[in-house]
Amino acid sequence: MKRLALVAAVLVAACSTKETPKADTAAPAMAPAPAAAADTGMKMDSTAKDTTAAAKMDTAMKHADTTMKKMDEAKDAMKKKP
């Protein structure tokens, strides 16, 4: 019983004390070197996106023009019927 009380007292004493961290005397770690600015092989070509958007716009405009032409033809056909 005395041993159990002694172990409990030691555990309580060990858990209740606050440990203060020691001051860090080690030199700070060096930052990694910056990436090389000359490496452009992996950069995305911005002109490819622009031409794709322009091509989509051209296709959309052609589709709209075709639709308008068909609507005009339909109107003309309706006018010609007596």
pLDDT at 10 over 80: yes
Rg over alpha carbons for the chain, rounded to the nearest Å, is: 40
Reported as a pLDDT band with limits 50, 70 and 90, residue 2 is confident
* Residue whose token pair is 């609507």: 71
For 16-74, the pLDDT digits (tens) are 766 676 776 776 677 777 766 655 555 665 555 556 777 777 788 888 888 888 888 88
| Domain boundaries, given as residue ranges, for the chain | 56-82
* DSSP state at residue 45: -
pTM over 0.75: no
Separation of alpha carbons 60 and 76, rounded Å: 24
Structure confidence at residue 45 (pLDDT) = 59
Q: Quick one: tokens of 55?
A: 């091509």
